[in-house]
Copies of this chain bind each other. A is one copy, B any other.
């Protein structure tokens, strides 16, 4: 069944109604009967009346066509009511009651029972432990929140936190922000953010989706749902600092905290990530109200220098550009403005700027091909009320197909301007920074919609499966890397001094010796690497030393790896680890033993897109050095090939838990994997 019944039910039964205005059950009844125009049956423990609607003490007889139930009774009583609703043909149930998974074992059991009942009746369940659903078009409000409730508007809002829904609805009114659909998700026993995302994004009243998330239940499906959204999606994620304690034994695993996976997933899905709720709704207003900019070139129109300079800073920080205007545009502006005005960009009309000068200058800027968007700054104008400036600007903005954002810098003196701009769907912000961040979000969305997001999937031919649970022997790990088309140093594992010397003689001196240890420790941490070993006598000595060190460190040692020395080049790390929510996560950055200390890494969903490769290389110091083209040239194409190869490995081998090449040495002629670690987990099919 679809989830429409949660938003546009034919009729609603509410169980938990009361006439006591101090109780939440009164609030739900009030909001429900106060708005919804279809049949409503209120059920409670005592008879009575709410806004002229009778409270019945039994759920039966249920009027025809009632397909949504809202339940707010003590947790223990929920299963029975849910079952009754199911029997009576209800298709969707919102369980607002708390006392489930969030309070411990008994609650968890009750939640499981509720889910079973819902499944048995083919009923979808929202919650428990949520404050319900609001659809301002239907209209439907199943929350207990005090009136006046959410304003009607273009923003859909899904939130894991119910308190945040309450706070945001109340705050949004002060921002001129209206909502299409709001859902408090609660414990998500059945219906999740991923289920609802297409339903709210596809609603004709919605022009932007906002998400207040903590975790997501099925990461790849979430990415697909967000990427397919016809409207922009903005997300605030709480829980970023909870890095989690994944069983991290590779550098990649240790650094791939839960939040970097979210970051990579949001980027893949085209979700605009913000770091505050205010920032989310700042961006949402701009996205919902104004057209997307065609590019990143912004003009700033102001009547004072200082705020203009601050706006340029903020715009540049948000990834936009504020370039000097062409002489044609400057000449047009000169005609409108006093000689002392500045027309370079920012356009500073001076404190004397009249409403007409604001409007005409804006028109010139919006008509210029070189301008994709305009930020208009309105401090309290010394000579004219700010409201008259707003009045003059509005028709110019409305004629244009380009986005305009306003900065109304002040309080009481600019309130009228802010109000009029909002009524005309022109977003206003108190200071330049928030306007710039909102415009940055618009530019991100615009460029994302223009890009190709096809993952790059080279075909790789593997003649085997990884059936190890634990670390693979080095030769197998190296073979995996070679199968992915990545050159790797030759390695020989020697179990005896004699084997070691023979291998070194064959490879040619100098050689590197590394303890072949089993388990999670990094070789370099236990002194398990000796480089530049010059002759057979030194090999013999190094062999004994490494075996001894490994044993002293308590590692299970299987022998010593002999490799030719890799000279020169830049050491990078390429790794992949499986994130529990989002699947394979690719890592790139500065390699060597100090990977974690350096912290110079970036992540992407594997297999990566061209945009992901750009991100991995552009965001890291290692990537920037590779691409600098200075000094010895580095073969960047070979690095990208290694990244997509490792991504393909992770996709081809679901039993590969993590794989890490560190270092991958990059030179002008190509790359070579010098050390490889790979870990398998039990293959689900076996």
Q: Which residues of A contact B (CB under 8 A)?
A: 22, 24, 98-99, 102-104, 144-146, 159-164, 166-168, 170-174, 212, 214, 236, 238-242, 275-278, 303-307, 309-310, 312-317, 322, 339-340, 351, 379-380, 382-383, 409-414, 430-434, 524-525, 590, 592-594, 596-600, 621, 624-625, 627-632
Quote the shortest CB–CB distance from A614 to chain B (angstroms): 15
Offer 9 A-B interface pairs, CB within 8 angstroms, sorted by A.
A160-B306, A161-B309, A170-B410, A171-B410, A173-B411, A212-B306, A241-B313, A597-B629, A600-B600
Report B-chain residues with C-beta under 8 Å of the C-beta of A627: 597
Whether A161 contacts B598 in the complex (CB less than 8 A), given A239-B313, A278-B431, A433-B275, comes out as: no
Quote the shortest CB–CB distance from A418 to chain B (angstroms): 11
Quote the shortest CB–CB distance from A147 to chain B (angstroms): 11
**Cβ contact within 8 Å between B167 and A307:** yes
Report B-chain residues with C-beta under 8 Å of the C-beta of A212: 306
Quick one: which of B162, B170, B309 contacts A412, CB cutoff 8 A?
B170
Whether A628 contacts B411 in the complex (CB less than 8 A), given A166-B382, A278-B430, A309-B238, comes out as: no
Report B-chain residues with C-beta under 8 Å of the C-beta of A430: 171, 278
**Cβ contact within 8 Å between B167 and A409:** yes
**Cβ contact within 8 Å between A414 and B317:** no
Whether A382 contacts B24 in the complex (CB less than 8 A), given A170-B411, A525-B630, comes out as: yes
Report B-chain residues with C-beta under 8 Å of the C-beta of A98: 340, 351
Quote the shortest CB–CB distance from A234 to chain B (angstroms): 15
**Cβ contact within 8 Å between B624 and A412:** no
**Cβ contact within 8 Å between B431 and A214:** no
Q: How many copies does the complex hold?
A: 2
Report B-chain residues with C-beta under 8 Å of the C-beta of A600: 600, 621
Whether A621 contacts B599 in the complex (CB less than 8 A), given A162-B304, A306-B160, A411-B171, comes out as: yes
Which of A163, A170, A303 is packed against the most chain B CB atoms within 10 Å? A163
Report B-chain residues with C-beta under 8 Å of the C-beta of A163: 303-307, 351, 379, 409
Report B-chain residues with C-beta under 8 Å of the C-beta of A241: 312-313, 315-317, 322
Report B-chain residues with C-beta under 8 Å of the C-beta of A316: 241
In the bound assembly, the distance between CA atoms of A163 and B431 in angstroms comes to: 12
In the complex, residue of chain B having the shortest beta-carbon distance to the beta carbon of A408: B167
In the complex, residue of chain B having the shortest beta-carbon distance to the beta carbon of A281: B431
- New contact pairs (13) apart from A163-B307, A278-B433, CB-CB < 8 Å: A103-B340, A146-B380, A146-B413, A161-B306, A163-B409, A164-B310, A168-B409, A170-B414, A241-B315, A275-B433, A276-B431, A593-B632, A594-B624
**Cβ contact within 8 Å between A166 and B621:** no
Quote the shortest CB–CB distance from A324 to chain B (angstroms): 12
**Cβ contact within 8 Å between A630 and B380:** no
In the bound assembly, the distance between CA atoms of A351 and B631 in angstroms comes to: 62
Report B-chain residues with C-beta under 8 Å of the C-beta of A99: 340
**Cβ contact within 8 Å between A309 and B214:** yes
In the bound assembly, the distance between CA atoms of A630 and B522 in angstroms comes to: 10
**Cβ contact within 8 Å between B380 and A167:** yes
**Cβ contact within 8 Å between A383 and B22:** yes
Report B-chain residues with C-beta under 8 Å of the C-beta of A340: 98-99, 102-104
Quote the shortest CB–CB distance from A587 to chain B (angstroms): 15
Report B-chain residues with C-beta under 8 Å of the C-beta of A236: 310
Quote the shortest CB–CB distance from A262 to chain B (angstroms): 12
In the complex, residue of chain B having the shortest beta-carbon distance to the beta carbon of A592: B631
Report B-chain residues with C-beta under 8 Å of the C-beta of A592: 625, 631
In the bound assembly, the distance between CA atoms of A22 and B385 in angstroms comes to: 11
In the bound assembly, the distance between CA atoms of A596 and B159 in angstroms comes to: 43
In the bound assembly, the distance between CA atoms of A411 and B176 in angstroms comes to: 12
Quick one: which of B322, B409, B598 contacts A624, CB cutoff 8 A?
B598
